[in-house]
């Protein structure tokens, strides 16, 4: 059997993190793995042949040029294709791998002795699991045990290869090492007393009501009828959502909100974790705070591994439960295998084609996202995702012990932790132009920004306790909330709003941020590599977008509207915490950020997701695998099977 390396199928730039004293080397006659962190790892010998691992094989899109032309036209008001998004069936027919290509991959994996665990509706991914021996047979590699930063890992020391008839359709294999993983972009998390506590000397922090005032978000369009997906890991507690909403006078989450586990139900990433669920608590509370009328779904990755996150991203696309997606998880571009980034970008291109708008936090380590390297964060670096950086907000008045509420917009400067810079992986998208965008051919990050500094920081309720939280994880969910408002205002999906937003440069819809730095780059007039185009003025941005009568052909099958149509309450007075935030942790790629910054932080116990947060989405539409009686029961609008065994697929 002739094996063909996959390097030719990638147009990405090689990335390295430097050399190590005793790096793992390729087996004779094979090409050495390009996984960036392998160069720093020390080889400690072959992995046991019976050791089990899970991988995802990624197939490439077809006719990428025509797809990118469509994605430009669908955002061009002068094009007959403007806002006429594809259905997933149309996308599959034109741009997904062919059924024959996908079947060939499946047969190859089975032939090597692997178990195929997952096939996707858009044929972009094939999941498989099996022994090291089977993985080595399937991909023509050796798998070794390696040590990195004092911890034991596994890694293929070679690039994967496939038979020639399979190789041409394959992007790569995700999961042939565990040297990188996703991390959340939430940080310093400080326990706080409840917002109703007596005023102290460390006033004040931000609530949704302060942010309504600050960003001129009078919520004429609260996102009613829209669905926002949070793409991440770990479960929320319904009691936290209810307590947060009650505290700030928000309605409960609309009917149909819920949580979807994209792996086995016992997966660690689908459980509540007192330490890790601070991220989803922040995400859901501030998405809801910005768009109180929008249904919210938490799509949970089975774990923080790259393979599981890629699987989760693709489920968000193939289920297509809503037009807006926010993710506050990422990984350093320079440390992430190129095949993983290309695969995820293919998924996001599919998402844009069917009308989804994706927003991603740009990272919390400034211009040096990992290992003190000047690099950006993935997936905010994808040209098919809007990267969201961070600012430090200053209210026009208030935020004092005697007047703790934010009185209105004062100013913003760049947050020092705001991830931003020049991607070395992706080419610059066509929409990234004008507005002082510097010359060049590479993707620039971020696109936009919103408040993220830990001072004043945002109130978050998690596991029954209040915290003060900062990070670009503050910013991305609020941009997603605004996108849901824009969808409601415009009457349909927006897809990638890049062209729309860059076209609004210099208008009252955006606050240009002109001061501050993230280390290697400074904010300046117009576009900059710290805050992008800047933050939004919601009323102005909603007015600029306007309504459209264009009918989309999106496959979204939302049939149940949120039960509440109430708008947000008037801003209330924010009270203070008796703790003051101070950045005490950093989110380096080798250290998982957790709320445990003090001795009073939560414990690490995990419990199953609460019983009222189910994967049946409140009965409005079901995810893949859930029982159904007709197509309309499924988020995919596809119910198949016989009799009582029917299930969504």
* Chain positions contacting Ca ion, by CB under 5 A: 512-513, 528
State the minimum distance, in angstroms, from the CB of residue 126 to Ca ion: 43
State the minimum distance, in angstroms, from the CB of residue 14 to Ca ion: 32
Closest residue to Ca ion, judged by C-beta, is 528
> Of 108 and 392, which CB lies nearer to Ca ion in the complex structure?
392
State the minimum distance, in angstroms, from the CB of residue 415 to Ca ion: 13
> Of 517 and 624, which CB lies nearer to Ca ion in the complex structure?
517
> Of 430 and 526, which CB lies nearer to Ca ion in the complex structure?
526
State the minimum distance, in angstroms, from the CB of residue 42 to Ca ion: 44
Q: Given its phi and psi angles, is residue 625 left (phi above 0), alpha (psi -120 to 50 degrees) or beta?
A: left
> Of 329 and 527, which CB lies nearer to Ca ion in the complex structure?
527
Q: What gap in Å lies between CA 258 and CA 559, rounded to an integer?
A: 15
H/E stretch holding 458: strand 458-462
> Of 447 and 474, which CB lies nearer to Ca ion in the complex structure?
447
Q: What gap in Å lies between CA 619 and CA 446, rounded to an integer?
A: 37
State the minimum distance, in angstroms, from the CB of residue 436 to Ca ion: 8
As given in the structure block, the two tokens for residue 100 are 């024959």
H/E stretch holding 468: strand 465-470
Task: Find all residues with CB under 8 Å of 174, minimum gap 6, and list them.
Answer: 55, 56, 57, 58, 306, 307, 310, 337, 339, 340, 343
Which among 487, 429, 417, 420 is positioned nearest to 448, based on CA atoms? 420
Q: What gap in Å lies between CA 376 and CA 370, rounded to an integer?
A: 9
State the minimum distance, in angstroms, from the CB of residue 455 to Ca ion: 21
State the minimum distance, in angstroms, from the CB of residue 594 to Ca ion: 33
Whether 120 and 94 have beta carbons less than 8 Å apart is answered as no
> Of 70 and 527, which CB lies nearer to Ca ion in the complex structure?
527
State the minimum distance, in angstroms, from the CB of residue 344 to Ca ion: 28
Across 132-181, the runs of DSSP E, i.e. the strands, are 143-148, 151-156, 161-163, 170-174
State the minimum distance, in angstroms, from the CB of residue 491 to Ca ion: 31
Whether 219 and 480 have beta carbons less than 8 Å apart is answered as no
Q: What is the DSSP letter of 251?
A: P
> Of 334 and 513, which CB lies nearer to Ca ion in the complex structure?
513
- In angstroms, the first-to-last Cα distance of the chain is 35
For every residue of 416-440, DSSP letters joined together read TT---EEEEEEEPPTT--STTPPS-
State the minimum distance, in angstroms, from the CB of residue 543 to Ca ion: 22
Which among 58, 45, 332 is positioned nearest to 180, based on CA atoms? 332
Q: Residue 286 half-sphere exposure, CB side, CA atoms within 13 Å?
A: 35
Task: Find all residues with CB under 8 Å of 596, minimum gap 6, and list them.
Answer: 275, 602
Which among 141, 168, 184, 127 is positioned nearest to 47, based on CA atoms? 141
> Of 256 and 532, which CB lies nearer to Ca ion in the complex structure?
532
> Of 180 and 517, which CB lies nearer to Ca ion in the complex structure?
517
> Of 149 and 525, which CB lies nearer to Ca ion in the complex structure?
525
């Amino acid at each position: 059997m002739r094996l063909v390396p996959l390097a030719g199928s990638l147009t990405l730039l090689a990335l390295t993190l430097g050399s190590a004293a005793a790096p793992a080397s390729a087996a004779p006659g094979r090409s050495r793995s390009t996984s960036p962190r392998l160069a720093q790892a020390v080889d400690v010998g072959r992995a046991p042949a019976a050791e089990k691992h899970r991988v995802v094989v990624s197939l490439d899109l077809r006719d990428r040029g025509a797809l990118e032309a469509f994605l430009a036209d669908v955002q061009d008001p002068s094009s007959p294709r403007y806002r006429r998004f594809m259905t997933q069936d149309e996308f599959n027919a034109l741009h997904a791998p062919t059924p024959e290509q996908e079947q060939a991959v499946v047969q190859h994996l089975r032939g090597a002795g692997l178990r195929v665990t997952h096939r996707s509706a858009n044929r972009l991914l094939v999941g498989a699991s099996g022994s090291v021996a089977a993985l080595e047979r399937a991909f023509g590699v050796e798998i070794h045990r390696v040590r990195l930063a004092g911890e034991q890992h596994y890694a293929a020391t070679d690039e994967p290869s496939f038979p020639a008839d399979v190789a041409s359709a394959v992007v790569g294999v995700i999961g042939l090492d565990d040297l990188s993983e996703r991390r959340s972009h939430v940080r310093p998390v400080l326990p706080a007393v409840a917002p109703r506590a007596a005023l102290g000397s460390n006033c004040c922090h931000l609530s949704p009501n302060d942010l309504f005032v600050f960003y001129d978000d009078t919520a004429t369009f609260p996102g009613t009828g829209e669905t926002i997906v949070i793409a991440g890991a770990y479960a929320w507690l319904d009691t936290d959502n209810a307590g947060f909403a009650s505290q700030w006078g928000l309605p409960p989450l609309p009917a149909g909100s819920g949580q979807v586990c994209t792996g086995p139900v016992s997966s660690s990433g689908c459980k509540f974790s007192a330490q890790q669920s601070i991220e989803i608590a922040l995400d859901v509370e501030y998405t809801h705070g910005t768009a109180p009328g929008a249904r919210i779904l938490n799509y949970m990755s089975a774990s923080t591994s790259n393979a599981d996150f890629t699987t989760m991203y693709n489920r968000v696309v193939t289920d297509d439960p809503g037009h807006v997606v926010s993710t506050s998880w990422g990984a350093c571009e320079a440390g992430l295998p190129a095949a993983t980034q290309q695969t995820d970008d293919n998924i996001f291109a599919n998402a844009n084609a069917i009308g989804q708008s994706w927003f991603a936090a740009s990272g919390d380590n400034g211009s040096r996202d990992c290992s003190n390297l000047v690099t950006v964060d993935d997936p905010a670096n994808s040209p098919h995702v809007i990267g969201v950086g961070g600012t430090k907000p200053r209210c026009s008045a208030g935020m004092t012990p005697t007047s703790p509420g934010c009185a209105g917009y004062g100013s913003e400067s760049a947050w020092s932790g705001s991830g931003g810079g020049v991607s070395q992986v992706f080419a610059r998208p066509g929409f990234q132009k004008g507005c002082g965008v510097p010359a060049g051919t590479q993707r620039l990050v971020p696109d936009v920004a919103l408040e993220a500094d830990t001072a004043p920081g945002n109130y978050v309720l998690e596991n029954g306790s209040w915290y003060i939280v900062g990070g670009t994880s503050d910013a991305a969910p609020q941009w997603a909330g605004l996108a849901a408002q824009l969808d409601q205002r415009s009457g349909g999906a927006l897809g990638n709003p890049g062209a729309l937003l860059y076209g609004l440069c210099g208008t009252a819809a955006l606050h240009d941020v002109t001061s501050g730095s993230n280390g290697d780059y400074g904010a300046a007039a117009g576009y900059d590599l710290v805050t992008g185009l800047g933050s939004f003025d919601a009323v102005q941005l909603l007015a600029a977008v306007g309504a459209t009568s264009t009918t989309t052909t999106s496959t979204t099958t939302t049939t149940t509207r949120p039960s509440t149509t109430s708008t947000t309450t008037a801003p209330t007075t924010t009270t203070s915490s008796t703790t003051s935030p101070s950045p005490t942790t950093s989110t380096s790629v080798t250290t998982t950020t957790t709320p445990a910054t003090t001795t009073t932080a939560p414990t690490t116990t995990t419990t199953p997701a609460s019983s009222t947060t189910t994967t049946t989405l409140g009965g409005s539409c079901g995810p893949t695998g859930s029982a159904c009686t007709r197509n309309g029961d499924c988020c995919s609008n596809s119910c198949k099977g016989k009799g009582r065994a029917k299930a969504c697929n």
